[in-house]
Amino acid sequence: MFVHPDFVRQGIGRRLLTEIESVAIEKGYKTLNVMSSLSAVKFYQANGYELTYQSSIGLWIENWSLGMDMRKQLISFTEMEKWTRRIT
């Protein structure tokens, strides 16, 4: 997800992310993972995402960029789910 530079800091990204998260919850997803550009890490952190690891993001076939993989827990895990998640 990218917001054109002329429209940043107007809440557009936050509204899009909120809608994406709502749809994910409706479909039963418990976590969301995103591959963030370095410039968007603070945005995702401000919206509850945590860094998981650094990666490369493929952009436009031949152009690679450094990015960060991030995750947000949308729905609480039960104790059994937490235990199962650790061993899978």
**Secondary structure class of 67 (helix, strand, coil):** strand
pTM value is 0.72
Q: How confident is the model at residue 70 (pLDDT cuts 50, 70, 90)?
A: very high
The pLDDT tens digits of the residues spanning 21-42 come to: 999 999 989 899 998 888 889 9
CATH 3.40.50.1440 for the 11-87 domain, yes or no? no
Share of the chain above pLDDT 70, in %: 72
User: Taking the domains of the chain in order of start, what are their residue ranges?
Assistant: 11-87
User: pLDDT band at residue 68, thresholds of 50, 70 and 90?
Assistant: confident
The runs of H, that is alpha helices, within 1-88 are: 12-26, 41-46, 79-87
Question: CA quadruple 33, 2, 54, 58: dihedral positive or negative?
Answer: positive
